[in-house]
């Protein structure tokens, strides 16, 4: 008897059980419990053989973050601290968090997880399938896609192979594995509910797989696999209006994961190229106004002077329908496709202009061209790229000092700086250029100093000795 006919008989039995439940009022669980273990002498299909290969490749990740406790302003004064015999260092409390991860390279000890699982962690440990607990090293992460890559030193690891997530179809069966609420190696199943979900505001770059497989706190960073036991997505988030799972979970597709991991391994982070154009969705109303019969694409609204987009010949009003032979459905598709390309990458654009199709070629600019190694300014900035950059501010376009990719664990990283930060002040001294920054850090010496930075539109004050 073939597997397909066995499955058909199983589905028939389940449908019959469901009908009996509705007609009789019996709970479905009581009816299905009476189903036979075999059909025509064949065992019923089971996920167990596949899970025996997958589950050993799933790990539990625990992090520890030390957080300084809030103090009364008077207690920050050294005189009062000495007078009341208060220790010089403020008290700290420990914050623990849990997440999941997936081994993607057993030989090199590479473990994939979410950036938000390990964000700001001072220490990370991984619990393997056999219960062994080992320390983990952060190789790099990308907050924009919520992907992080760790390394552990351990023997006999089991890796989960990566599948082509573009081959997924809505309705495909998928299985999620992780540690929801700390319950290690929990398995749930469902189907692919939708593909290419964007505009959710969860991450900077979104093209999520939506699934109804149950995902809960602690599942973050765990694998979403197909029935072959191959990784198709990295479980990341849920929509939970009431605080619990309602069957709407999201996973980052492996094809996006591959691109980010390759850049992390090469650069320690993602070095996105600059394109220099903005776009909006091509709506049916806009298509009618333009007199075209096209409902998918991204309409270019602005092109920056001197940008890679201008050099490629792109103009406002052009409709981008494909990038590197990948179709573009909306502006989010365009942003994702361009945003995952590294600096210096060649890009091919298929556009519509005046109702005619054209092909444009360009090269993405390096946002860190002209940046220098931070240690040439001060050993406090060792491990980071630092440079001057033009940014739009409330006072207009200004040249500011920006932070590029950092090496996790480096002095610059430990000072609290992160990729994309703009350094505005050091010990209240304004920083307008690299020379200002060098002089300010030289004046600090080995004393406690503060950094005022602008991060994602918010002013932050970082303190470091």
Residues acting as catalytic residues = 116, 146, 220
> For residues 413 and 436, what is the distance between their CA atoms, to the nearest angstrom?
21
d(CA 69, CA 91) in angstroms, rounded, equals 6
Distance CA 61, CA 118 (A): 8
- Report the distance separating Cα 333 and Cα 339, nearest Å: 10
E strand or H helix that includes residue 271: none
Instruction: Give the separation between CA 306 and CA 281, rounded to whole angstroms.
Output: 24
End-to-end CA distance of the chain: 73
Residue 465 carries which DSSP code? -
- Give the three-state DSSP class for 389: strand
Question: What are 208's two structure tokens?
Answer: 């999520």
> Taking a C-beta distance cutoff of 8 angstroms, is the pair 223, 176 a contact?
yes
Q: Residue 94: left (phi > 0), alpha (psi -120 to 50), or beta?
A: beta
Question: What count of other Cβ atoms lies within 10 Å of the Cβ of residue 219?
Answer: 30
Burial call 355-375: b when 16+ CB within 10 Å, e when fewer: eeeeebebebbbbbeebbebb
Contacts of 267 (CB under 8 A, 6+ apart): 140, 342, 405
């Amino acid at each position: 008897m073939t597997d397909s006919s066995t499955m058909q008989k199983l589905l028939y039995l389940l449908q019959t059980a469901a009908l009996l439940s509705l007609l009789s009022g019996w709970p479905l669980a009581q009816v299905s419990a009476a189903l036979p273990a075999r059909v025509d002498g064949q065992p019923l299909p089971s996920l167990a053989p596949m899970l025996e290969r997958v589950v050993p490749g799933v790990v539990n990740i625990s992090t520890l973050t030390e957080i300084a406790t809030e103090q009364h302003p008077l207690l920050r004064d050294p005189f009062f601290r000495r007078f009341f015999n208060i220790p010089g260092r403020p008290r700290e409390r420990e914050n623990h968090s849990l997440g999941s991860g997936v081994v993607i390279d057993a030989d090199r000890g590479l473990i994939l997880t979410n950036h938000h699982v390990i964000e700001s962690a001072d220490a990370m440990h991984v619990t393997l399938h056999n219960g062994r607990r080992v320390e983990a090293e952060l190789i790099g992460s990308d907050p924009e896609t919520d992907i992080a890559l760790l390394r552990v030193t351990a023997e006999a690891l089991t890796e989960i192979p990566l599948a082509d997530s573009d081959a997924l179809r809505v309705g495909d069966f998928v299985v999620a594995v992780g540690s929801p609420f700390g319950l290690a190696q929990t398995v749930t199943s469902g189907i692919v509910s939708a593909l290419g979900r964007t505009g959710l505001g969860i991450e900077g770059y979104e093209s999520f797989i939506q699934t109804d497989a149950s995902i809960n706190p602690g599942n973050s960073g765990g694998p979403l696999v197909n029935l072959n036991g191959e990784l198709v997505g990295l479980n990341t988030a849920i929509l939970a209006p009431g605080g619990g799972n309602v069957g709407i979970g999201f996973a980052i597709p492996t094809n996006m994961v591959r691109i980010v991991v390759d850049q992390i391994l090469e650069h320690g982070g993602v070095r996105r190229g600059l394109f220099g154009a903005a776009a909006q969705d091509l709506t049916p109303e806009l298509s009618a106004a333009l007199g075209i019969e096209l409902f998918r694409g991204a309409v270019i609204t602005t092109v920056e002077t001197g940008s890679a987009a201008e050099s490629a010949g792109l103009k406002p009003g052009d409709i981008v329908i494909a990038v590197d032979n990948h179709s573009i459905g909306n502006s989010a598709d365009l942003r994702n496709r361009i945003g995952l390309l590294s600096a210096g990458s060649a890009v091919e654009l298929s556009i519509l202009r005046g109702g005619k199709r054209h092909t444009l070629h360009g090269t993405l600019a390096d946002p860190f061209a002209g940046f220098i190694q931070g240690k040439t300014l001060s050993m406090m900035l060792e491990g980071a790229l630092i440079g001057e950059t033009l940014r739009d501010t409330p006072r207009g376009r200004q040249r500011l000092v920006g932070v590029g990719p950092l090496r996790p664990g480096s002095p610059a990283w430990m000072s609290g700086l992160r990729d994309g930060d703009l350094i505005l002040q050091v010990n209240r001294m304004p920083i307008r250029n690299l020379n200002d920054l060098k002089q300010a850090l030289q004046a600090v010496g080995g004393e406690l100093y503060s950094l005022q930075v602008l991060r994602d539109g918010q002013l932050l004050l970082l303190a470091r000795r």
